[in-house]
Amino acid sequence: MNAPRTAGARGGPLRPVLAVYLGTAAGTLAWLAAIILAPWLAAGRSTARAAALLYAAFSPICHQIPERCFQFHGHPLAVCGRCLGIYAGFALGLALYPLVRGFTIARLPSARVFILVTLPMAVDGTAGALGLWASPIGLRFATGAVWGVLLPFYFVAGAADLLRTRRARREARALENQAGKT
C-alpha cells in the first residue's frame, strides 16, 4: 500500500520536519510533566488550588476515574492509565521517529499499520465499556502505549506539511507582489 507522501518528500532535507519535531518533543515533555505535576501539587497544602486547575485542564480529554489512574504522592495522576500510556507511547514514538523516518521524509503510515496498532486498544476499550471484562491498569497502559507509538508519525508529518505549505504560499505571494511592483 502506498502511503501518502507530503509535497516535500522529493526535496532535500525538510527544515519544517525538524522544527515541528523539536516543538512536538518540547510540548510532549511539558504535557507529561503537567500530568505528573498535578498529584504532586495536590499533595502540598498551599498548592491544592493549582492542582485543581491542572486536573480541570485535563478533564475535557480524560475521565480521570481514580481507580483507573496511577497514583503519585497518594493522589491520582491527571489522566487515566490508558491516556498516560498513549502519551508515554507518543514520547517513545517521537524518540524513534528520527531512526525510522529521519528528517528528510515526511510520510504517513499505511492504513493497515494503523488498524493493526489500534486493534488491541479498541478491543480492550470496547470490551471494558460493554462490561465483558475489566482489564488491569497495566494492560490499559500497555494497549494505549502501543497505539501512542504510532501517533507522532502522523502528527509530525501533518504539522510539517502544514508549515511547509503555508511557507510556500507566503513566498509565492511575496513573489507575486514583487512582480506586481516591477
Nearest to 17 by CA among 108, 103, 100: 103
Establish if 167 lies at the interface with another protein (CB under 8 A): no
Give yes or no for a contact between 80 and 63, defined as CB atoms under 8 angstroms apart.
yes
Establish if 81 lies at the interface with another protein (CB under 8 A): no
Among 14, 91, 142, 159, binds another protein (CB under 8 A): 159
Total residues binding another protein (CB under 8 A): 50
Q: Which of residues 94-153 bind another protein (CB under 8 A)?
A: 106, 108-111, 114, 121, 125, 129, 131, 144, 147, 151
Which residues 6+ apart lie within 8 Å of 105 measured at CB?
5, 9, 14
Neighbour-count burial for 29-57, b at 16+ CB within 10 Å, e otherwise: eebbeebbbbbbbbeeeeeeeebeebbee
Interface residues with another protein (CB under 8 A) are 3-4, 6-7, 52-53, 55-57, 59-67, 80, 82-83, 86, 106, 108-111, 114, 121, 125, 129, 131, 144, 147, 151, 154-155, 157-159, 161-162, 164-166, 169, 172-173, 175-176
